[in-house]
């Protein structure tokens, strides 16, 4: 079987490039983000439909509604799931440190959490995938959120394979598997064959963490994503993460990577609309991944209905990845997707941390500029605000799915 890495390079339409943002002109004046405060803070998790307050006998007003656990992000951006093993420890610690300094989160991927990274738990999403590598009670309780990975945009419907050559002592200990053995994740979770089964796992994880952490469910963007997302929200997930077919990976069969899944823009618009139509949009946050290339894509994703985005390939490019698509060889020349000590040394964790911070801060400034141009001073005002988008070069069916008007209307 031919293997490939990173995202789908086939020339399918990129809908972000057919969407244009609005800008204020005479009325509703624009805002200068250098002179006025802008709010990018985002909270991920289930929100109440309404707030109730109560007044004490002394006249003190307090919130009566119990708010579900939330993940606080200073930017609507998170580092995608990349397991320790698929990338090396130097980069994992750089992601953890960068997320901590930025006030965002990174995601362990399915490789467990190295003991040295527990200190970054408040900025960590711990993943539970079908292989359950490194999953135990302390691991679950170490993070600020838990993600059940059902699918991945680069390889929907299939499992994962980390070759034995990448399973050295550190990876072996963290994943709780023997050194040198292949880490094979099954295609399905063998305890999930229905939405009811998924619900049981969601609540088992909530129970194991005393209902302190939001639980996310990650799926690949596929043909009926909207119905699947609705089921996931009704099963009790606090966050739905959707991964589009341009999402990267360390290894995937080439035919799967290039021919399976759908664009994230279509999946996002249809899921947001479906959850709104069913009156359950507030019950879960939507996070999108797989093809977020720049800050404008983040802004367009939020206008289409996302609460936040994951970035993976963009983060790797920031630390030197040249998109050579050879990650599966385990011999990444930039010291990223490799555990060969001589190659891994090419990534200095201190320098990588600074580069990741610069990327997110730079995107943050650009997002503020675009928001200010639209006359908005908070990311919350943009969420699902498709009036701020206009489309060029799309047919009526595409416009209907995206819920966006054509330019000029």
**Rounded Cα distance, 110 and 134, in Å:** 8
Q: Which listed residue (327, 343, 367, 389) binds ligand SF4 by CB under 6 A?
A: 327
Using DSSP bridges, classify how beta strands 285-289 and 239-243 pair: parallel, antiparallel or unpaired: parallel
DSSP H helical ranges for 143-194: 169-175
Query: Residue 241's closest CA among 12, 401, 81?
Result: 81
Q: Closest approach of Cβ 407 to ligand SF4, in Å?
A: 36
Q: Which listed residue (337, 343, 357, 394) binds ligand SF4 by CB under 6 A?
A: 337
Subset of 182-221 contacting ligand SF4 (CB under 6 A): none
Residue 6 binds ligand SF4, judged by CB under 6 A: yes
The tokens describing 354, both together, are: 């600074």
User: Looking at 90-98, 211-219, 263-271, 318-326, which segment touches ligand SF4 (CB under 6 A)?
Assistant: 318-326
Tell me the number of residues near ligand SF4 by CB under 6 A.
14
Q: Which listed residue (183, 336, 356, 394) binds ligand SF4 by CB under 6 A?
A: 336
Q: Is the separation of the CB atoms in 383 and 374 below 8 Å?
A: no
Helix (H, G, I), strand (E, B), or coil: what is residue 324? coil
Q: Which listed residue (116, 322, 345, 405) binds ligand SF4 by CB under 6 A?
A: 322
Q: Which listed residue (3, 4, 5, 81) binds ligand SF4 by CB under 6 A?
A: 5
Residue 326 binds ligand SF4, judged by CB under 6 A: yes
**Rounded Cα distance, 234 and 238, in Å:** 10
Reported in sequence order, the residue ranges of 186-237 that DSSP labels E, i.e. its strands, are 215-220
Residue 323 binds ligand SF4, judged by CB under 6 A: yes
Closer CB to ligand SF4, 337 or 376, in the complex? 337
Tokens 């049981």 -> residue: 200
Residue 356 binds ligand SF4, judged by CB under 6 A: no
Q: Is the separation of the CB atoms in 240 and 226 below 8 Å?
A: no
Using DSSP bridges, classify how beta strands 124-128 and 106-107 pair: parallel, antiparallel or unpaired: parallel
Q: Which listed residue (102, 332, 389, 394) binds ligand SF4 by CB under 6 A?
A: 332
Residue 355 binds ligand SF4, judged by CB under 6 A: no
Closer CB to ligand SF4, 71 or 356, in the complex? 356
Contacts of 113 (CB under 8 A, 6+ apart): 84, 124, 126, 134, 139, 142, 143, 174
Subset of 133-172 contacting ligand SF4 (CB under 6 A): none
User: Given the rule CB under 6 A, which residues bind ligand SF4?
Assistant: 5-6, 316, 321-327, 332, 334, 336-337
């Amino acid at each position: 079987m031919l293997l490939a890495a990173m995202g789908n390079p086939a020339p399918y339409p990129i809908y972000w490039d057919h969407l244009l943002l609005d800008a204020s002109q005479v009325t509703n004046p624009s805002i200068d983000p250098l002179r006025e405060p802008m709010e990018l803070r985002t909270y991920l998790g289930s929100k109440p439909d309404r707030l109730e307050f109560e007044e004490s006998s002394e006249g003190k007003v307090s919130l009566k509604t119990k708010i579900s656990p939330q993940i606080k992000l200073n930017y609507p951006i998170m580092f995608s799931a990349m397991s320790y093993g698929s990338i090396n420890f130097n980069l994992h610690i750089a992601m953890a440190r960068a997320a901590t300094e930025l006030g965002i989160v990174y995601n362990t991927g399915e490789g467990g959490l190295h003991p040295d990274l527990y200190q970054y738990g408040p900025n960590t999403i711990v993943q539970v995938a079908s292989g359950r590598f490194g999953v135990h009670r302390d691991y679950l309780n170490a993070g600020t959120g838990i993600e059940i990975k059902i699918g991945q945009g680069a390889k929907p419907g299939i499992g994962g394979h980390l070759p034995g050559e990448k399973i050295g002592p550190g990876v072996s200990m963290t994943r709780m598997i023997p050194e040198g053995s292949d880490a094979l994740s099954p295609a399905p979770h063998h305890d999930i064959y229905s939405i009811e089964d998924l619900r049981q796992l969601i609540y088992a994880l909530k129970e194991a963490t005393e209902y302190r952490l939001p639980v996310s469910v990650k799926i690949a963007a596929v043909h009926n994503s909207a119905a699947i997302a609705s089921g996931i929200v009704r099963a009790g997930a606090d966050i739905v993460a959707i991964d589009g077919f341009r999402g990267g990976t360390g290894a995937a069969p080439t035919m799967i990577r290039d021919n399976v899944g759908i664009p994230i823009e279509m999946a996002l618009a249809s899921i947001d609309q479906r959850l709104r139509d069913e009156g359950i949009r507030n019950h879960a946050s939507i996070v999108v991944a797989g093809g977020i290339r720049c800050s404008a894509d983040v802004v367009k994703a939020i206008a289409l209905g996302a609460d936040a985005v994951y970035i993976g390939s963009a983060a790797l490019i920031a630390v030197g990845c040249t998109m050579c698509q050879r990650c599966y060889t385990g011999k990444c020349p930039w010291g990223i997707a490799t555990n060969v000590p001589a190659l891994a040394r090419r990534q200095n964790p201190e320098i990588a941390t600074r580069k990741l911070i610069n990327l997110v801060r730079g995107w943050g400034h650009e997002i503020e500029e675009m928001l200010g141009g639209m006359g908005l001073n908070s990311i919350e005002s943009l969420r699902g605000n498709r009036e701020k988008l206009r489309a060029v070069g799309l047919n009526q069916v595409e416009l209907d799915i995206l819920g966006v008007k054509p330019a000029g209307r």
